Amino acid sequence: MKWNSLGIGAVALLGAASLSAQTADDFSEWEKEIAHSFAEMDANRDGVLDREEVGQNPPLETHFSMADMDKDGHISVEEFAAFEILVESIEAAEREPSI
Ligand SMILES: [Ca+2]
Ligand SMILES: [Ca+2]
Annotation: CATH topology of 6-95: Recoverin; domain 1 (1.10.238)
CA of 66 to the centre of ligand 2 (A): 10
Summary mean pLDDT of the chain:
85
Among residues of the chain, what percentage have pLDDT more than 90? 65
Among 81, 88, 90, 96, which residue's Cα sits nearest to residue 28? 81
Question: How far is C-alpha 14 from the geometric centre of its chain's CA atoms?
Answer: 12
pLDDT at residue 23, rounded to an integer: 82
pTM exceeding the 0.75 threshold for the entire prediction: no
Ion ligand 2, residues whose Cβ is below 5 A away:
68, 70, 72
Cβ atoms < 10 Å from Cβ of 79: 22
The single-letter code of the amino acid at 38 is F
- Residue 95, C-beta contacts closer than 8 angstroms, at least 6 positions apart: none
pLDDT at residue 11, rounded to an integer: 57
